[in-house]
Each structure stands twice: as C-alpha cells, then as structure tokens.
Amino acid sequence: MTATPTPARRQPSSAKPVRRPGDLFFSSASIGSATIILLTLAGVAVFLLIEALPALTAPADEVSGGAGFAGYVWPLVVGTVVASLVAMVLATPVAVGIALFVSHYAPRRLGQSIGFVIDLLAAVPSVVFGMWGMSVFAPRLVPLYEWLEQNLGFIPLFADASTSGRTLMTASIVLAVMILPIITAVSREVFLQTPSLHEEAALALGATKWEMIRTAVLPFGMPGVIGGTMLGLGRALGETMAVAIILSPGIFTWNLIGSGNNTIPAEIALNFPEAAGLRLSELIAAGLVLFVITLAVNLFARWIVDRRAEFSGAN
Amino acid sequence: MSKRIDVNDLDIYYGDFHAVKDVTMTIEPRSVTAFIGPSGCGKSTFLRTLNRMHEVIPGARVDGEVLIDGQNLYAKGVDPVDVRRQVGMVFQRPNPFPTMSIKENVLAGVRLNSKRMSGKAADELAERALRGANLWNEVKDRLDKPGAGLSGGQQQRLCIARAIAIQPEVILMDEPCSALDPISTLAIEDLISDLKTDYTVVIVTHNMQQAARVSDKTGFFNLKATGQPGELVEYDSTQTIFNNPREKATEDYISGRFG
Amino acid sequence: MSAPTDRRPADRDPRTPDDLHHSRLDDVPGIVASTVRPASTRPAWMLAVAFVLVGLALWQLLDLHVAAAVALAFVGYLVVLYVVYLRLGGERVAKDHLVRALVYFAFALAILPLVSLLWTVVAQGAGRAFDPDFLNQTMNGVTGLNDQRYASGEADFVGGAYHAIMGTLIITGMATLISVPIGMFTAIYLVEYGGGNRLSKSIRFFVDVMTGIPSIVAGLFAFALFTQIFGIRDAKMGLAGAVALSVLMIPTVVRNSEEMLRIVPNELREASLALGVPKWRTIAKVVLPTAASGLASGITLAIARVIGETAPLLVAIGYARGLNWNPLEGPMNTLAVYAYFMFTKPLSPAVRDPSLERAWAAALLLVLIVVALNLLARLIAKLFAPKSGR
C-alpha cells in the first residue's frame, strides 16, 4: 500500500472538477470490476444455498441413505478430511526437504531450474494425475498394502487390503504429490527470505549447516511453512478428479487400504451427470459444505501467513 | 591466553575477481587492531577470512595462510565450524535471533557447542557474558523478553555478549557501530577497550576517530584503482599511522584528502 | 569476568598451544562441550554409491518390492552414515550429514512421481496424439462396435478429439475474455485508485477467499446460476463452463496483475502526472505499457491453470460427443473432460484399449499445452521485460 501514489486530488473549491470521459470510464470500470468480484462471491453462496435448500429441508427418509442430509454428508466429510490430512502429513516433510534443498543445499542455478520444474508439477491437470494414479501407481501399491495387512492388520486402519490398490490411501498419496508443489513453493519463498544476518550470526557462533538452519532458517520460516501446509490442505480438500478416478468408492470405513470411502468432490463428480431432482440438490448441498470447510481452512492459512510479517523481526 | 594471529601472503578471490592482494601481518594477542580504508578496499572481506566467514559467499576462496598460535586455519583437516568457535564475530547490523529471548540469545552459541549444560552453569555463563558486554544491569530484569525488543545499541551489545559467551580467543568486529547512534557507539567503544584484557580484538571501521580512540595498531587498506585488488598499504601502531605515516596514500586518507 | 573458574593459570593449562579443537568453553564447569572434528565428505558419497548398489541388489537379487528395497537401502544408509560420522566427526557432524541425506532424498522422492507421470503420459499417449485422424475427427456416431472392429483388425481406428480441442479453445477463450478485463481493472483499482481504503481491503480479502474456492464448487455455482436463469433443462452450455472457469481464473489474474502494477516505479506516474497528463492516460499510456510483459505472462499462467480443469466443466457443461460451436446452447466437450470419460467409461467395456488410447492422447495434448503455456509465460516475462526494471 505504501507504493500507491496519492495524486493531487482536484480541489473542488478552486475550480469545477473537470470530469474527463476517460477518467470516468477508468474509475467506473475499476470499481465495477471490483464489485463484480464481491457479487460473484456472494452469488456462489446464495445460488448454492438456493439449489441446496430442498435437500437441507427434505424429510430424513427421502435423502439418500435415509438418515437426513447430515447423515448423508457426514461420512463424506470424514472421508474428505481424512484423505486430505493424510496427504498433508505425507507431503509436508518432503516439501520442507525440497524447499531446503532448493534454498540452502543446491547450487543457485540448479535451485532455480528445480523451482521451475516443481512449479510445472503444480500445473499438470488433475485428471492426468488421476489417470496416472489409477493405472500406474495404484497397482504398485498393492504389495505394500498386503504387507501392511499381514504385519499391522491389528490396527483398524490397515485391516483389509484391496487387490486393485484403488483405496483412500492411494488417493491420499496422489493428493500428497499434487499438493507438494504448493507447500514447496511457499516454504521455498520464506526460506529464501531468511535474513542473511541471522544465518551469518549462527554460522559465526560455530554452527554446522544443519544447526544454522535450525537456529535461523526454520524459526523464521515456520509460520510460512504452516501457512503453505494449510493452503495445500485447502487444495487437497477441494481436489476432485484424482480422487474420483482413483478411488473405488463405497461406504465409509476406517480401513484406509481397502475399497470404500468417498470424498465430497468425488461424490459430486461421480454422481452429478446422472443426478436429478432431490439427488441433484443433495450434491449441491454437499458442495456447499465443502465450500464452508475449505473457506475455513484457507482463512486460517491466510491469517497465519499474514502474521509472518510480525514474526520476522527484520528491522 | 588470547591468541596471536599471523597472516602470510594471503590473496582473496571471488570467482575470477582478485579482491585482496598479498596481505602479510601479525596481530598481537590482547590488543585492539583496527582496519581502515575506503569502501570496497577489501578490509571487511579480509576480516571475514580470519574466521572463514567469507566461505558463506559462493565462489569466494583464498590463497595463503592464516595462523592462529601457529595453527593454519586453511590447513587440510580444519573445519570452519571449529575455527568460528575460536574466532567470534560481531556484524555491522545487530542481529539477535528474533524468536529467542535475551538469555536464549546469549546462550545460543553455547547450546550449539555443548552436549549438556546445567541450569546453574547456564545462568552463570549468561550473567558473565552480559556483564562482559556491559549489558547486565540494563537487562537483568527481563532476561526472558525477546532480544529484538532492545534498542539498537543494546542489541549490538547483546550480540557481543553472545559472541563472548562461547569463550573465543579472538573477536572480529565488522563496523560494529555503523548502524548505531553516537551514545550507543560510545558504549561499544568503551566495551572494546575492556574486551582487550581478555581477547584479541580486530575491528573494521569507517570512522577514523574511532580507530584512533580504540585501537593499538591500525592497518590501512586501499586499492590503486577500481577493478584492482585491495591491498594492505601500511600497518603500524595507531600512533604512527595517525601522526606520521610512512606512505603518502595513508596520509592523504587520514587527512581526509580522499576516500 | 568474576567467577574464579573462568581462567586457569597458563601453567596448569592442559592443552597444547596449537590445538584448535579445544576451546576455553570446554573448561567451564557444568558444560559438556560437543566439538566438531573435521571430516571429509568423501565417505558420505562412497556410502551413497554403495547403498544404491545395495538397493539394486535387494530389488533384483532378493526380488524385493522396489519401494521396500529403496526404503531398506535408505534406512541402512542413514544408520551407517550416522555411525561413520559419529566416529569421524562427532555427534554434530553426524547429525549434519543425516539431515543432508534426508534433504537430498526428499528431492529425489519428489522427482520420481514427476518422471513416472510424464513418462506414462508420453508413452501411452504419443501413439495417437499426433495422428491426423484423431485430431480431425469427433466422437459423433462412434460406438463400442467401432472399437471392437478396430481391435480385431476389421476396421480402421475412428473417433478423435477434434470437438474437445475446439471446445477447450472456445471455453478457455471465453473464460479469458471474461476474466482478464475484470481481473485487470480490479488490479488497477487496487493499485491506482483504492489506495488502501476499506473497499480495496475487502476486495483483497475476498480475492483471497476466491482463490480457495474448490473447482467443483465453482462448477456447481455456474450450474446453479444458469439453472436459475435458463431453467434446469437448458442450463448446461459452454458459457456456464466459461463462467465457472472465470471464478477460478479471476483471483489469479488479480493477484498476478496487482503484483506487476505495483513494481512500476512511482516516479514514472508522477513524471506523467506532473506533465498535466490526466490520470486515465497515465495509466493507459505509462503504467500499463511498462507492466505489459508481466501482465501478459501472468495472464498466460492463469490460462494454464484453468485449461486443464475437469470437475467444473463436468458439472456445468456436461459431455458432448460431437462438435458444438455454440457456447450458448447445449453441452460441449473439452480435452480434460474427454480424457476423463474415455478413461473411466470406455465405449466398449469389453475392448477398453482404444478408449484408453484416446484418453492418454488427450492427456498428452493437455500436458503439452500446459507446459507450452508455462514456457511461454517465462519467455514473455524475459523477452519483453522493461529495460529499467529492478
């Protein structure tokens, strides 16, 4: 905001303000566009609500599953959140590792080109991730799931292995690959911004590279990493096609390595083309629930990332 | 107990650029040695080679040797991490760790360099270092407050406390007062005079009065022309440098005729 | 310097004078010093090579699952690395090497799926993607029977993605036409007119919120909106898809453009205003041209982001088998939706391969477009950057 010019306002007292058509056009187009954005966002909430209302108010036994809308959407919410959380837990350490590699371990040129490649990974369409996940990745995971069932089967999460590999766990791992670039990009940015003053302070005290990172880089970058992780979580929550293609959906189960489970976006994508009437309304209502969840996560992420400014201590 | 530094035929390069040429000097223990000279003459670069901090800059390398009590810093099998434990450094701008309290800041280096530290030893060491940096009386009631909350001069003394807490032999100071107001500068200068009873102090400064006030010996760095490497023009007792320098260039610089 | 243990008389000093590894810190009571002994990095590299061989042996000779072999070899490497450097350089050096190994491994771990994905797409898709028939035909009238005849060698391959390519271009083009003016003018408002007032603050906040809208929700919104306007029967049309994509695209355009307008130096604006040039001309003639390359590159990236979207189009447009030039009526098709349907609902469930071929070919085209757009964005930013930029 500091960069914004404050051009001399025309003084209304000294002369009649000349309303040039060009100025009028530019300022009204600008304000108009800004207003459209606000209206669109309000529109998203309002129109979804209108279309969702029949499902929200329908008698319990008319909704799919016969337990009301809450009963219908609840397992989907849990499936969505579990898949996204697992993806986040898997992706974060790797992303922080890559970010450190790019910012502090790799030579600068190599780091830059790796940054570009990682950005490219973020641009690959999700439908392609889904196709790859189902045809290449899922079959490769079957032996791992069998091993988990044999050795850790007493844990309900690994109770019964799927033979196709098309499970919530596979979907989570692919989601992890998909959100990796987001977390990496944000973490890389904050790591690169670490004041060299602090890095040098640590090195001058006789720190090894890792000790320097632990003393100067990680404390400085932590809020950014957390914010990036939250953004990644938001993306995973809303990701549709990869899950829709990979998962062989079913009722909710805690068994992550067998078939079953579904997420809200995948449920919508899989059923929307054939849906009509109340079913359509149910799906839109589920979308509304998803919207609220991702909104909460994203606002939380923004809040953390913005707070970083106070943390940085750069004076 | 503090150590003597011998520099023999030291050349410094950044990639292909020859930054400092052929420096030979001896820095006496328990003394304050000041480096002066115009900007870009390589005095800060040279200071950094005394604890291998120049290696942080990609492409920087040296030729020659730096001996601390006879041990070459650049010998095979010497780890820069080890060197920096012996040769502490204070930077141009105060740089306390922003997420740490005052006490944690003082002990940061000690924690890195030790496996275990008893609570009693930590308290004693922190107090001793803060007293050594003339900061104890100002912060003793708020040791757990963030170090970034102090004034600029206090922050710089905190950084000195942090440097002396790990008990180095030598303390390097890279223009330690250039970001400070005159009163804080005075406090640091007093401190430097105190420090030399225990440490070998080497200071780079832009301020000639400061060099004259605090140092026992002074080295004048200069470069013949832009693009040429910097070199040590004259190195003598501060008295001599400021009162009757041997070299014309030194005299010109001291009398403010250039630079 | 009051504590008596602080200094020992020199004659009781046990050290040799030239021992750099010993510092005065080691003599402070209550502190167990942890020193660093110099250790070359060569053992780390030699161990890395050795354990790559171990991993290969576990995989090939002992017939372990490749992931298990890699995991075992890596854990083994970490343990041996730690023990070796514990002896060579002490605990701190060992930890340093451990973290370095983990960081490098994280990097390798991320490159692996990328390579596998690109390889799969190219290997599966290259056979069909550049076939002129595939590029020029639609799926109109193509059924599972055609695929079965092709598989048994009785007929030629029919059915391509021409309609999907055209649909992608039309819908993305319309989304760009909607998003770019709105996004750019919003950015202009934020930078040139808003000046941190309440409206600009709330706009910035809502743009952030918009960035987080899941793509399928954007599709549902467009569907709901068009259902309200056109009735549920006629709601599915190309324009609905363009609106859905715009919801996703506008925030990206705003953010990228805002950033680019902000780095235009204020001196330029002031110089122009001081010459008596009206504000709108200053923006149009000075600010926008200066930022042009950055704006173009940002818009290209925004296009790349939405061109591969599937979910919102699936919901808002539906699926068309033939070519539909009219975005105001009836379903259309796009490459991403085409790939999805060919992949999950093959024309002939018994003979899936021709459909899968089409799906992978569409995926390859899509990936190529995205990569090309990303490279183009970089090129624009590099080639047309203003000379005086920071």
Q: What is the CATH number of the domain that holds C177?
A: 1.10.3720.10
Q: What angle (nearest 5°) sits at the alpha carbon of residue B128, between those of residues B127 and B129?
A: 95
Whether C139 is in a domain gets the answer no
Partner-chain contact B108 A202, CB within 8 Å: yes
Compute the CA torsion angle A92, A98, A104, A109 (nearest 10 deg). -150
Q: Token digits for B30?
A: 């328990």
Question: Which of B97, B99, B146 is nearest residue A201 as measured by Cβ atoms?
Answer: B97
Whether C204 is in a domain gets the answer yes
Compute the CA torsion angle A267, A270, A273, A278 (nearest 10 deg). -30
CB atoms within 10 A of CB A33: 21
Q: How many angstroms separate the CA of residue C210 from the nearest CA in chain A?
A: 7
Alpha carbons B242 and B258: distance in angstroms, whole number: 15
C120 and C168 both lie in a single domain: no
C67 and C202 both lie in a single domain: no
pLDDT at res. B258: 61
Q: Is C41 on the interface with B (CB under 8 A)?
A: no
C104 and C178 both lie in a single domain: no
C96 and C169 both lie in a single domain: no
pLDDT of B46 > 70? The answer is: yes
Partner-chain contact B116 C7, CB within 8 Å: no
| Model pLDDT for residues B138-162, shown as the tens digit of each residue | 998 999 988 888 888 899 999 999 9
Partner-chain contact C374 A119, CB within 8 Å: yes
- Place A200 in a pLDDT band, splitting at 50, 70 and 90: very high
ipTM of predicted complex: 0.87
pLDDT of A8 > 60? The answer is: no
Determine the residue among B44, B87, B93, B95 to mutate to test chain A binding: the one whose Cβ has the most chain A Cβ atoms within 10 Å.
Answer: B95
Q: How many angstroms separate the CA of residue C128 from the nearest CA in chain A?
A: 16
Under a CB-based contact definition with an 8 Å cutoff, are residues C224 and C215 in contact?
Answer: no
C65 and C3 both lie in a single domain: yes
C229 and C338 both lie in a single domain: yes
pLDDT at res. C5: 41
Dump strand ranges (E) for B69-192.
71-72, 87-90, 114-117, 170-174
- Place A227 in a pLDDT band, splitting at 50, 70 and 90: confident
Query: Which residues in chain B have their CB less than 8 angstroms from residue C25's CB?
Result: 85, 110, 113-114, 166-167
CB atoms within 10 A of CB B258: 9
Q: How many angstroms separate the CA of residue A156 from the nearest CA in chain C?
A: 22
Query: Which residue range forms the structural domain that includes residue C347?
Result: 162-383
pLDDT at res. A19: 64
Partner-chain contact A30 C185, CB within 8 Å: yes
C178 and C270 both lie in a single domain: yes
pLDDT tens for each residue of chain C, 390 residues long: 344 444 334 433 433 434 555 666 777 777 787 777 878 888 889 999 999 999 898 888 888 878 888 889 999 999 999 999 998 888 889 999 999 999 999 988 888 888 899 999 999 999 888 888 889 888 888 888 888 888 888 888 888 899 999 999 999 999 999 999 999 999 998 888 877 788 888 888 888 888 889 999 999 999 999 998 988 888 888 999 999 999 999 999 999 999 899 888 888 888 988 888 888 888 888 899 888 888 999 999 999 989 999 999 999 998 888 888 888 888 899 999 999 999 998 888 888 889 999 999 999 999 999 999 999 998 988 877 665 443
C206 and C348 both lie in a single domain: yes
For chain A, give every domain's residue range: 23-311
Partner-chain contact B97 A219, CB within 8 Å: yes
Q: Is C378 on the interface with B (CB under 8 A)?
A: no
Question: Which of B53, B100, B148 is nearest residue A204 as measured by Cβ atoms?
Answer: B53
Alpha carbons A197 and A313: distance in angstroms, whole number: 11
Tally of structural domains, chain C: 2
Q: At which residue do the structure tokens 């324009």 appear?
A: C239
Whether C132 is in a domain gets the answer no
Alpha carbons A245 and C291: distance in angstroms, whole number: 41
CATH superfamily of A23-311: MetI-like (1.10.3720.10)
Partner-chain contact A205 B88, CB within 8 Å: yes
* Contacts of C among chains (3+ CB pairs under 8 A): A, B
Partner-chain contact B56 A203, CB within 8 Å: yes
Alpha carbons B253 and B239: distance in angstroms, whole number: 15
Q: What's the whole-model pTM score?
A: 0.86
For chain B, give every domain's residue range: 5-100+169-254
Range with lowest mean pLDDT among A6-15, A182-191, B99-108: A6-15
pLDDT at res. C20: 54
Whether C173 is in a domain gets the answer yes
- Smallest CA-to-CA distance from B106 within B145, B163, B148 is with B163
Question: Which of B56, B81, B82 is nearest residue A200 as measured by Cβ atoms?
Answer: B56
Q: Is A293 on the interface with B (CB under 8 A)?
A: no
**Among C76, C105, C125, residue at a domain's last position:** C125
- Interface size between A and C, measured as CB pairs under 8 A: 297
Q: Closest residue of C to A33, CA-based?
A: C182
Q: Closest residue of C to B197, CA-based?
A: C1
Under a CB-based contact definition with an 8 Å cutoff, are residues C295 and C377 in contact?
Answer: no
Q: Is B179 on the interface with A (CB under 8 A)?
A: no
C171 and C304 both lie in a single domain: yes
- Place B171 in a pLDDT band, splitting at 50, 70 and 90: very high
Return the CATH number of B5-100+169-254, one of 1.10.10.60, 3.40.50.620, 2.40.50.140, 3.40.50.300: 3.40.50.300
* Contacts of A among chains (3+ CB pairs under 8 A): B, C
Determine the residue among C16, C31, C97 to mutate to test chain B binding: the one whose Cβ has the most chain B Cβ atoms within 10 Å.
Answer: C31
C187 and C66 both lie in a single domain: no
C110 and C170 both lie in a single domain: no
Q: How many angstroms separate the CA of residue C146 from the nearest CA in chain A?
A: 24
Partner-chain contact A206 B113, CB within 8 Å: yes
